[in-house]
């Protein structure tokens, strides 16, 4: 089984507000994506599992547009490291999204540890004078355990930055060992994203580099699914499909020049190419 994840970032922001949403007004943006894609991906339900991670404001419309029996799973872009509990916190989480809220909104999965989330948490710690990679991993571990405890599937992102390339094995091992500590009992997949290669104009890693990293992650986790988080796209779909250790990919942008953004028709082209159709 292959796993195809899609991080819809903040693609809901319209062009007039400096965003890249050209698909639909914000009020129906989430529903539009589900309605335009769920029928097409149903034909691949025996080959792959599909998960879309939506910005919070669009979870309800996306979940409501999902047809009964659809192979599409709705997910959110992170959860709080604490959750509600009987006799404990009833939901006083202003500005945060506990795993219980994600579940109630229709989510079955969550994206944790994306390089943008890691950078944000590291930036907050830096404001307090703390520079500690382990601290970021410990916070993410709390999020993973909260998500697993609420029955959410987890896509956990790991990856090395440019200055960490020479010790990439040490970096990935720490992110895995600390991040997954005590998090058994749920469905967890790992997204390997080489942070140094992400962004316009940056050189992507070659097949051997990706395979070496994926093999390392497989061995370190006892065989958890590993997807390529550096961006599954039309240009690399066939190459990634040829790597035995890679079980899928994380799609974000479908167009990287001109009117950049996420486009359903281009998404389907990536899926077809990756699945060999």
Topology adopted by domain 2-274: TIM Barrel (3.20.20)
State the pairing for strand pair 188-192/226-228.
Answer: parallel
Mean pLDDT of 115-140: 95
Q: How far apart, in whole angstroms, are the C-alpha atoms of residue 64 and residue 207?
A: 39
Measured between its terminal Cα atoms, the distance across the chain in Å is 16
For the cut 90, the answer to whether the pLDDT of residue 58 exceeds it is yes
CA distances (Å), origin 252, targets 76, 77, 268 = 14, 13, 13
**pLDDT per position as a tens digit, 174-232:** 999 999 999 988 899 999 999 999 877 788 899 999 999 999 999 999 999 999 999 99
For the cut 90, the answer to whether the pLDDT of residue 64 exceeds it is yes
* pTM of the model as a whole: 0.97
Catalytic residues: 114, 193
pLDDT at 201: 73
Structural domain spans, the chain: 2-274
Q: How far apart, in whole angstroms, are the C-alpha atoms of residue 247 and residue 244?
A: 7
Give the CA radius of gyration of the chain: 18
Average pLDDT, the chain: 96
**Encoding tokens for residue 216?**
């390392």
């Amino acid at each position: 089984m292959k796993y195809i994840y899609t991080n819809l970032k903040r693609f809901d922001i319209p062009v007039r507000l400096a965003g890249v949403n050209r698909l639909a007004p914000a009020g129906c943006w989430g529903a539009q994506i589900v309605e335009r894609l769920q029928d097409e991906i149903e034909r691949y339900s025996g080959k792959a599992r599909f998960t879309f991670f939506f910005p919070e404001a669009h979870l309800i419309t996306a979940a409501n547009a999902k047809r009964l029996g659809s192979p599409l799973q709705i997910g959110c872009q992170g959860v709080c490291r604490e959750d509600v509990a009987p006799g404990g916190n009833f939901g006083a989480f202003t500005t945060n999204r506990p795993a219980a809220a994600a579940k109630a909104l229709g989510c079955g999965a969550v994206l944790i540890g994306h390089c943008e989330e890691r950078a944000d948490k590291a930036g907050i710690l830096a404001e307090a004078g703390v520079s500690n990679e382990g601290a970021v991993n410990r916070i993410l571990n709390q999020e993973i355990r909260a998500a697993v405890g609420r029955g959410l599937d987890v896509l956990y992102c790991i990856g090395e930055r440019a200055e960490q390339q020479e010790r990439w094995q040490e970096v990935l091992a720490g992110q895995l060992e600390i991040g997954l500590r005590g998090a058994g009992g749920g469905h967890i997949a790992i997204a390997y994203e080489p942070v140094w290669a992400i962004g316009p104009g940056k050189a992507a890693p070659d097949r051997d580099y990706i395979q070496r990293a994926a093999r390392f992650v497989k061995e370190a986790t006892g065989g958890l699914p590993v997807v390529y988080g550096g961006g599954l796209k039309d240009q690399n779909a066939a190459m990634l499909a040829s790597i035995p250790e890679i079980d899928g990919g994380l799609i974000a942008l479908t167009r990287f020049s001109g009117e950049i953004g996420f486009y359903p028709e281009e998404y389907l082209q990536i899926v077809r190419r990756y699945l060999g159709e």
